[in-house]
């Protein structure tokens, strides 16, 4: 009998995605795994239990996680869920560790080997495992769809016998993966698109999609990108200059979409209340970064707010989850591609190589400790389990480290450590 992979139903009511698809279930079976999918896990992603069963999975219940050697999830398990996990279980998910020390400590105390998929390095080998890119791509698309749904006019220019309908003006703030897809989608729908970002490389990318780039292009701008391709936090002086440049521009826009995130930090404020007040009635702002504090003053997580001057500020949570059927298929492939690297092809058993660059980049907890280099490791008391500790095959628990007096967040030291966010 092979080792077991368990795919649970996500307990968060705001999370409709699932960590497997019929395709990846077949692939997991091909690697030698027995696959158990909790009943109803894929319902919100339009994958009924029958489809998983046809692919070779056993449809089970939540308690079957106690049998698992590997658990594939969308969001990290909470402390109550972890009580059913066996120590040594490999947990692969979007862990979201920054600012969530208690949750990270709970993973360590449970004795699981947790991998944070957001930390996957952006290297050629790991492109198929990049959950930030796969999910951000859909978030950028959905942000434009949400904006169009709230905007009560047509987006493209239409020339008719009765007159001309002008094209909507859309401004994209933050040109990572999400921003680029937002530009492309808004252009397809016929809007006139402008975009801004602090990274110099974004200028050429924006132009390649047929949009106009807007930024203060001084010396600080020229050095505003990390080795991993992420935006650096800009100085207060630069932020002031950029705000002055964009303030006048925003006043003329019909749609503004913000996607700016900084690794390990709250989302930067890009749109002030004064800027919102300058916009025309009926204008729409979509804040994709609202879960990280938001880019827009006045944005409320999970709500669509209408300001006194008639501007709608959209703050939907879990934007990729709004297209769960598509997002789950991509996310499942990301997880499978990573798990495949952890399996010995000869024995068809889990064999985690802790010297592998992908493992080093993503492993958050192991052997009862927090081990990721962006965090200070410390021993943890195991959460009570219904079975004794049973590390996965071909693995040895990491040697205990000296307890630290306190654990503080540290800035990522390499592109290998990247937090959750819109890429």
Catalytic residue among 3, 45, 116, 133: 133
In sequence order, the β-bridge partners of residue 160 are 163
pLDDT of the residue at 242? 79
Q: Tell me the per-residue pLDDT of 337-390, one tens digit each, with 9 for 90 and over.
A: 999 999 998 999 999 999 999 999 999 999 999 999 888 655 555 555 444 444
pLDDT of the residue at 362? 97
- Using pLDDT thresholds of 50, 70 and 90, give the confidence band for residue 65: very high
pLDDT of the residue at 358? 97
pLDDT of the residue at 250? 96
What is the per-residue burial (b if ≥16 Cβ within 10 Å, else e) of 373-405?
bbbbbbbbeebebeeeeebbeebeebeeeeeee
- Pairing state of beta strands 349-350 and 343-344? antiparallel
- Strand blocks (E) in 122-245: 158-160, 163-165, 169-173, 192-196, 212-213
pLDDT beyond 50 at 70: yes
Q: C-alpha distances in angstroms, 251 versus 11, 170, 273, 418?
A: 41, 11, 12, 34
Catalytic residue among 69, 130, 146, 287: 130
Across the range 295-303, mean pLDDT stands at 96
pLDDT beyond 60 at 196: yes
Per the annotation, the verdict on 205 as an active-site residue is no
Rounded to the nearest integer, the mean pLDDT of the chain is 88
User: For residues 337 and 184, what is the distance between their CA atoms, to the nearest angstrom?
Assistant: 27
Per the annotation, the verdict on 230 as an active-site residue is yes
Per the annotation, the verdict on 254 as an active-site residue is no
Across the range 41-70, mean pLDDT stands at 97
Q: C-alpha distances in angstroms, 52 versus 22, 56, 360?
A: 5, 7, 32
Residues 129/338, Cβ–Cβ less than 8 Å = yes
pLDDT of the residue at 222? 62
pLDDT beyond 80 at 399: no
Catalytic residue among 9, 46, 122, 265: 122
What domains sit in the chain, N to C, each tagged with a CATH number? 4-130+323-370 (3.40.50.720), 139-320 (3.40.50.720)
Least confident of 122-136, 212-226, 259-273: 212-226
Task: For the chain, give the number of residues.
Answer: 423
Across the range 282-290, mean pLDDT stands at 97
Per the annotation, the verdict on 208 as an active-site residue is no
Per the annotation, the verdict on 122 as an active-site residue is yes
Catalytic residue among 12, 23, 78, 127: 127
């Amino acid at each position: 009998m092979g080792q077991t992979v368990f795919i649970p139903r996500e307990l968060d009511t705001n999370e409709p995605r699932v960590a497997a698809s019929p395709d990846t279930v077949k692939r997991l079976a091909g690697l030698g795994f027995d696959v158990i999918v909790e009943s109803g896990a894929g319902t919100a992603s339009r994958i009924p239990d029958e489809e998983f069963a046809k692919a070779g999975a056993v449809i089970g219940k939540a308690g079957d996680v106690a049998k698992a050697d590997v658990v594939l999830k969308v969001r990290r398990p909470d402390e109550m869920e972890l009580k059913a996990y066996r120590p040594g279980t490999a947990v692969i998910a979007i862990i979201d560790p920054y600012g969530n020390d208690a949750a990270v400590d709970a993973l360590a105390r449970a004795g699981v080997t947790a991998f944070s998929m957001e930390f996957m390095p952006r290297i050629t080998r790991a492109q198929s495992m990049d959950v930030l890119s796969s999910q951000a791509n859909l978030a950028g698309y959905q942000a434009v769809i949400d904006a169009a749904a709230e905007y009560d006019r047509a987006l493209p220019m239409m020339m008719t016998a009765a007159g001309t309908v002008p094209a909507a003006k859309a401004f994209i703030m933050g040109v990572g993966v999400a921003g680029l897809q937002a530009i492309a989608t808004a252009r397809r729908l016929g809007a006139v698109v402008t975009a801004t970002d602090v990274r110099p490389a974004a200028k050429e990318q924006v132009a390649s999609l047929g949009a106009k780039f807007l930024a203060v292009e001084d010396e600080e701008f020229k050095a505003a990108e990390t080795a991993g391709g992420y935006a650096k936090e800009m100085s207060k002086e630069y932020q002031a200059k950029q705000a002055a440049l964009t303030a006048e521009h925003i006043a003329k826009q019909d749609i503004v979409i913000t996607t700016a995130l900084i690794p390990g930090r709250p989302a930067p404020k890009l749109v002030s209340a004064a800027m919102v007040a300058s916009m025309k009635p009926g204008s729409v702002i979509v804040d994709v970064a609202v879960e990280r504090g938001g880019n827009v003053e006045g944005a409320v997580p999970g709500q669509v707010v209408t300001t006194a001057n008639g501007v709608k500020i959209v703050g939907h949570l879990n934007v990729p989850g709004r297209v769960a059927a598509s997002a789950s298929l991509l996310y499942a492939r990301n997880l499978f591609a990573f798990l495949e690297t952890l399996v010995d092809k000869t024995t068809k058993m889990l064999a985690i190589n802790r010297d592998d660059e992908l493992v080093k980049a993503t492993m958050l907890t192991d052997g009862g400790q927090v081990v990721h280099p962006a965090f200070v490791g410390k021993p943890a008391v195991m959460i009570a389990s219904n079975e004794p500790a049973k590390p996965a095959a071909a693995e040895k628990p990491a040697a205990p480290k000296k307890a630290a007096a306190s654990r503080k967040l540290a800035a990522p030291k390499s592109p290998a450590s990247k937090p959750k966010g819109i890429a």
